[in-house]
C-alpha cells in the first residue's frame, strides 16, 4: 500500500503543534513587499498576543505548505467551493504574514489568556517538547515473519518510518532467540515511483526461531518488541500412499506441449475436453529481408511483405550498372529476382542514391517488397551490390510455420458450467520455459489420481478446471530455436528503420502488457509504445491473438471465478492491483478489506503447499499486490480478469531464489535453469495449483461464491 503523505486529521491540535514561532523564523513569514494583502474582515490581534483564528486559504497547496513547515493547525481543515477553511494558532505578526500571502482571517475565535507566568511557562515547555518530538520519527513493523527451510531459519521484516521525506534515515532491526542469542541487521529504504514505501532487507539467516524483534532509527525512533509470526502458517493435507506425480521428464517445446495435450485428451476422455481457442497466432514466421549493399558504408534493407515461408525466402535482389549514359532508374522482378538498374548521368556514372532506390522499390512493388535506408546510409550513392538472398532468419528448421491453434484442457467430471471454475495459464512470456511444466504437471496429477485418490476425486467432481499450458507458442518456438531470451510474441509491428534485421531479437508484443485494464493506453506505468521495448504493449489493447485467447476462454465460461497466471522467475505470489499511474503512484482500485484478507489467506495456503515439496518458501515481502511487491505492469491479464470479469486472479513467479549456505547469499535461478531445478519448480508449484483448486472447492462449499 502506498505511503504517500496526505492530509490526515488529528484528534487534537497538539498533534501538529510545534510551538509558537518567532517572526524571524516563522514558517508563515511574509513574501516580498510586492505582495498585496487580501481584503477581509477586520480581525486584529494585539501586538505580542497569540490567538486562535479561522482563515480561508486560497487553495490546498497553501495548507500543505503550512502543515509541512510546522504551522499550529488547531482543527480539521474543511474545503468549500475550492477554498480551504482552517483554524490556526498565530501571533500578530504571523497573522499579518498570512494575510499578505492571500489568506483571509474570517473569525477571531479565542485569544490567549493573560494567565500567570506559570501557565506561559507550561505552554513554552509543551512547545519545546513538541519541537523535540517533531525531530523524532515513529516506526512501525509492517511485516515480521520467520520460517525454516532445509534446516536454516530466516527472518523477514518491513518497517515504516514517519520520516518519509528524509532519505538519510537509517533503520536497524535487532532480534533475539529463546536462548538469549541476539543479532541485528540494517534495512534499506525502498521507494517506488518516487514514493517512500518502507525499509526492508532480504530475509536474514538466524540461528533459531526469533522470539522478539525491535527496530531503531537514526532519528531516535524505536518500536516496541514484537514476536515474529511463523510464515506461511498453513500446511496442506498429506498425499496418500500411492499418489502419482512427477510426470515431467524434460523441457518441452510447443510441439511437445501440443502432443501432450492431445495425448491427455485421448487418454482421459471422460475427464477432459480439449478446447481450440478462437484466435490463431501468426505462427513461427517472419518476413524475409536482406541487406543490399554494405551496412558499414551504404546499404538499403529490402523486406518482403509476405512471410518468408510464403515463397519469399531465397528471393534475390541486386543492383546493376546499365553501362550507358543518361539512363533512368528502373526495376524488374522476374523469376524471383528483383533487379534494380541504377540511373546514370551524362558521363555514365551511377547517380541513384539509397533513398531513391528504396522509394522506387516501394512504389513499384508495394504488394511484394518494403525497402528502407540503412541507418547512416541516407543520401549516399547506391553501390552495385548483390545478388542478396532474402531470408526470414529463423533457425528452427523442424518447426511448423503455419498459424498456431492454441489449446486449453478442460478437466473435471462435470464440465457443463454448473461447478465453480479455475483457470491456470502459462508461458505468456516465451523465455519462461519452466512455466508450462508446472501447468502440465498439475493437469496430469489431477487426471492420474482421480481413480485412486478420494481427495483428487472430490476436487474434480466439484471444480471445473481450465488449463492453457502455452499462451505464446510462436515466441516459445523462437526462444527454443533462435534467441532464448525472447519475451514477446513474433508479431512485428515495427516500421521503417526499426525493421532492420539487427533488431530481430527485439520485435514482438509483450502479451502481458496487451490487456485492457490499467493499460499503457490509459496512462498506467509499465508498458511501452516502442516496438522494440521488452514491454511493448502493441498497437492497441488486445491487439494480439494470444491475449485475446486468454480473455475469450474466461468470457466463454462465466463459472470461472479463480485464475492463476504462471510466470518465472523470482518466487513471487501476487494479485491485483497490478498497475499505477506515475503521478502520485495512483493504483487501480484496491480490493475491499475482506477481499484483500481473502487474497492473503488463500495465498498462505497455496504457499504452504508449494513449501511441502522441497521446503521452498515464497517470501512475505514478495507476497501481495503486483504493484506493491514487484512493479507496475500496465495492461496485465490478472487485472483484466479481476476488474472486468470479477475473477479472483493471482500470479505466480516460479523459481524462488535459493540460499547458498557457503556464500551466505540468495542466488537467482533464471528463466531457463538447469533442468533439475526446472523439474523441482514444476513439482512444487503444481502442488500450489492443486491447493488453489482446494481453495475454490472450499469457497463453493461454504456458499461464499457460486458458479
Catalytic residue among 541, 653, 684, 691: 653
My answer on whether 443 and 428 are in the same domain is yes
Last residue of a domain, one of 78, 95, 113: 113
The predicted-structure confidence for 129-167, as pLDDT tens digits, reads as follows: 444 445 689 999 999 999 999 999 999 999 999 999 999
Band (pLDDT 50/70/90 cuts) for residue 69 is low
Sheet (strand 83-91) strand order: 78-80, 83-91, 50-57, 104-111
Q: What is the mean pLDDT of residues 574-585?
A: 93
My answer on whether 380 and 416 are in the same domain is no
| 3-state helix/strand/coil string of 659-703 | EECCCCEEECCCCCCCHHHHHHHHHHHHHHHHHHHHHHHHHHHCC
Task: Provide the number of structural domains found in the chain.
Answer: 4
The predicted-structure confidence for 635-691, as pLDDT tens digits, reads as follows: 999 999 999 999 999 999 999 999 999 999 999 999 999 999 999 999 999 999 999
Domain span at 688 = 254-281+401-702
Q: Indicate the pairing of strand 580-581 with strand 586-587.
A: antiparallel
Task: Identify the burial level of 310 via C-beta atoms within 10 angstroms of its C-beta, where 0-12 means exposed, 13-18 middle and 19 or more buried.
Answer: middle
Last residue of a domain, one of 364, 390, 416: 390
Residue 126 lies in a domain: no
The rounded distance, in Å, linking the Cα atoms of 559 and 420 is 5
Q: What is the mean pLDDT of residues 243-264?
A: 97
Angle between the N-to-C axes of helices 435-449 and 454-462, in degrees from 0 to 180, rounded to the nearest 10? 110
Cell of 563: 485464475
Last residue of a domain, one of 230, 245, 267: 230
The pLDDT value given to residue 467: 98
Residue 188 lies in a domain: yes
The pLDDT value given to residue 194: 85
The pLDDT value given to residue 74: 61
Among 350, 359, 338, smallest CA distance to 382 is for 350
How many percent of the chain have pLDDT more than 70? Answer: 89
pLDDT at 33 exceeding the cut of 50: no
Rg of the Cα atoms in the chain:
33
My answer on whether 271 and 343 are in the same domain is no
Catalytic residue check, 653: yes
My answer on whether 318 and 420 are in the same domain is no
Query: In a 3-state reduction of DSSP, which class is residue 262?
Result: helix
The rounded distance, in Å, linking the Cα atoms of 358 and 319 is 12
My answer on whether 324 and 277 are in the same domain is no
The CATH number covering residue 75 comes to 3.30.70
Among 605, 625, 607, 624, smallest CA distance to 616 is for 607
The CATH number covering residue 225 comes to 2.60.40
My answer on whether 144 and 258 are in the same domain is no
My answer on whether 553 and 663 are in the same domain is yes
pTM of the predicted structure, to 2 decimals: 0.81
The pLDDT value given to residue 703: 77
My answer on whether 693 and 600 are in the same domain is yes
My answer on whether 496 and 603 are in the same domain is yes
pLDDT at 117 exceeding the cut of 80: no
How many percent of the chain have pLDDT more than 90? Answer: 79
The pLDDT value given to residue 7: 24
Residue 632: CB atoms within 10 A of its CB come to 24
pLDDT at 609 exceeding the cut of 70: yes
Spell out the long-range contacts of 79-82 with Cβ–Cβ below 8 A and sequence spacing 24 or more.
none
Residue 36 lies in a domain: no
Residue 87 lies in a domain: yes
The rounded distance, in Å, linking the Cα atoms of 234 and 601 is 9
Amino acid at each position: 500500500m502506498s505511503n504517500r503523505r496526505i492530509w490526515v486529521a488529528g484528534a487534537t491540535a497538539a498533534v501538529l503543534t510545534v510551538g509558537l514561532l518567532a517572526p524571524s523564523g516563522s514558517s508563515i513569514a511574509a513574501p516580498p513587499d510586492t505582495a498585496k494583502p487580501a481584503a477581509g474582515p477586520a480581525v486584529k490581534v494585539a501586538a505580542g498576543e497569540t490567538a486562535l483564528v479561522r482563515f480561508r486559504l486560497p487553495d490546498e497547496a497553501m495548507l500543505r505548505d503550512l502543515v509541512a513547515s510546522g504551522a499550529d493547525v488547531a482543527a480539521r481543515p474543511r474545503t468549500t467551493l475550492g477554498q480551504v477553511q482552517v483554524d490556526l494558532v498565530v501571533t500578530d505578526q504571523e497573522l499579518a504574514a498570512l494575510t499578505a500571502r492571500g489568506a483571509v482571517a474570517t473569525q477571531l475565535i479565542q485569544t490567549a489568556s493573560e494567565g500567570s507566568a506559570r501557565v506561559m511557562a507550561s505552554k513554552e515547555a509543551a512547545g519545546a517538547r513538541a519541537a523535540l518530538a517533531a525531530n523524532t520519527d515513529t516506526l512501525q513493523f509492517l511485516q515480521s515473519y520467520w520460517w525454516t527451510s532445509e534446516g536454516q531459519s530466516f527472518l523477514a521484516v518491513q518497517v515504516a518510518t514517519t520520516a518519509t521525506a528524509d532519505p538519510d534515515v537509517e533503520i536497524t532491526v535487532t532480534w533475539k532467540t529463546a536462548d538469549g542469542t541476539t543479532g541485528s541487521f540494517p534495512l534499506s529504504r525502498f521507494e517506488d515511483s518516487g514514493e517512500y514505501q518502507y525499509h526492508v532487507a532480504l530475509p536474514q539467516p538466524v540461528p533459531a526461531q526469533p522470539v522478539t524483534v525491535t527496530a531503531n532509527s537514526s532519528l531516535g525512533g524505536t518500536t516496541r518488541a514484537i514476536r515474529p509470526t511463523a510464515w506461511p502458517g498453513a500446511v496442506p493435507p498429506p498425499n496418500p500412499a500411492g499418489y502419482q506425480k512427477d510426470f515431467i521428464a524434460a523441457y518441452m517445446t510447443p510441439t511437445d506441449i501440443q502432443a501432450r495435450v492431445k495425448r491427455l485428451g485421448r487418454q482421459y476422455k471422460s475427464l477432459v475436453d480439449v478446447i481450440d481457442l478462437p484466435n490463431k497466432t501468426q505462427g513461427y514466421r517472419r518476413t524475409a529481408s536482406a541487406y543490399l549493399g554494405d551496412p558499414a558504408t551504404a546499404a538499403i534493407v529490402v523486406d518482403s511483405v509476405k512471410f518468408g515461408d510464403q515463397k519469399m525466402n531465397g528471393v534475390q535482389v541486386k543492383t546493376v550498372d546499365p553501362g550507358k549514359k543518361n539512363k533512368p532508374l528502373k526495376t524488374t522482378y522476374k523469376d524471383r529476382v528483383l533487379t534494380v538498374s541504377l540511373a546514370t548521368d551524362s558521363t555514365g556514372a551511377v547517380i541513384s542514391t539509397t533513398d531513391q532506390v528504396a522509394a522506387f522499390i516501394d512504389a513499384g512493388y508495394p504488394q511484394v517488397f518494403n525497402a528502407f535506408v540503412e541507418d547512416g546510409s541516407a543520401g549516399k550513392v547506391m553501390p552495385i551490390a548483390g545478388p542478396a538472398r532474402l531470408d526470414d532468419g529463423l533457425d528452427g528448421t523442424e518447426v511448423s510455420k503455419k498459424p498456431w491453434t492454441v489449446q486449453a484442457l478442460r478437466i473435471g467430471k462435470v464440465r457443463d458450467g454448473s461447478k465453480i471454475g479455475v483457470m491456470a495459464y502459462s508461458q505468456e512470456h516465451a523465455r519462461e520455459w519452466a512455466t508450462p511444466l508446472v501447468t502440465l504437471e498439475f493437469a496430469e496429477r489431477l487426471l492420474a489420481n482421480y481413480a485412486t485418490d478420494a481427495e483428487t476425486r472430490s476436487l474434480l467432481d466439484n471444480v471445473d478446471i481450465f488449463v492453457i499450458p502455452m499462451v505464446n507458442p510462436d515466441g516459445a518456438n523462437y526462444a527454443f530455436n533462435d534467441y532464448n531470451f525472447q519475451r514477446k510474441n513474433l508479431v512485428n509491428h515495427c516500421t521503417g528503420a526499426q525493421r532492420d534485421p539487427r533488431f530481430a531479437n527485439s520485435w514482438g508484443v509483450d502479451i502481458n502488457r496487451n490487456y485492457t485494464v490499467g493499460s499503457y493506453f490509459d496512462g498506467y506505468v509499465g508498458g511501452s509504445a516502442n516496438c522494440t521495448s521488452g514491454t511493448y504493449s502493441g498497437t492497441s489493447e488486445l491487439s494480439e491473438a494470444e491475449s485475446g485467447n486468454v480473455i475469450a476462454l474466461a468470457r466463454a465460461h462465466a463459472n470461472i471465478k479463480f485464475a492463476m497466471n504462471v510466470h518465472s522467475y523470482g518466487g513471487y505470489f501476487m494479485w491485483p492491483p497490478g498497475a499505477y499511474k506515475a503521478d502520485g503512484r495512483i493504483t487501480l482500485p484496491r480490493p475491499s478489506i475482506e477481499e484483500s484478507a481473502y487474497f492473503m489467506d488463500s495465498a498462505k495456503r497455496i504457499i504452504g503447499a508449494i513449501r511441502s515439496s522441497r521446503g521452498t518458501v515464497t517470501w512475505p515481502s514478495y507476497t501481495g499486490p503486483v504493484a506493491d511487491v514487484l512493479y507496475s505492469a500496465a495492461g496485465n491479464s490478472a487485472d483484466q480478469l479481476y476488474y472486468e470479469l470479477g475473477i479472483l486472479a493471482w500470479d505466480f513467479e516460479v523459481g524462488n531464489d535459493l540460499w547458498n549456505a557457503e556464500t551466505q547469499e540468495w542466488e537467482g535461478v533464471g528463466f531457463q535453469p538447469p533442468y533439475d531445478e526446472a523439474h523441482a519448480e514444476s513439482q512444487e508449484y503444481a502442488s500450489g495449483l492443486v491447493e488453489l483448486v482446494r481453495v475454490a472447492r472450499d469457497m463453493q462449499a461454504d456458499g461464499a461464491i457460486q458458479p
